Amino acid sequence: MTIAAIVIIGLVGLPMNPPMVARVMRTAGDGLMVNTVHTAVVTFGVVVGSSVGGLAISAGYGLLSPLWLGFLLALLGLVSLLPYLKRSEKKISSSVG
């Protein structure tokens, strides 16, 4: 399961970095601080995710617990996109009609 998760993250997660940066720059502008803050937030996410995964292992939930925590955090990230998607749908429907 771990090898499959690493392969999937490598194939899906890594290629998502340039589109994420482009989206942030399109939304907030192209200033230096925008890219710096975005990179800092991504790095902070790596630190928090690694720490929570280590805590889960230390708490006795097993070596697969970080994978499940990562899955849950990824779902939370997808849910956070729902307001953006709904706003985009409204813009599309208002420009069509």
- Residue 92's pLDDT band, with cuts at 50, 70 and 90, is low
- Return the higher-pLDDT residue of 33 and 90: 33
- CA 86 – CA 38 distance, rounded (Å): 23
63 in Cβ contact with 72 (< 8 Å): no
Interval 27-70: pLDDT, tens = 887 777 888 888 898 889 889 989 999 999 999 999 999 989 98
* pLDDT for residue 21 is more than 90: no
pTM of the model: 0.62
- Return the higher-pLDDT residue of 60 and 11: 60
Burial 49-88 (b: 16+ CB within 10 A, else e): eeeebeebeeeeeeeebbbebbeeeeeeeeeeeeeeeeee
What's the mean pLDDT in 6-27? 81
- Residue 19's pLDDT band, with cuts at 50, 70 and 90, is confident
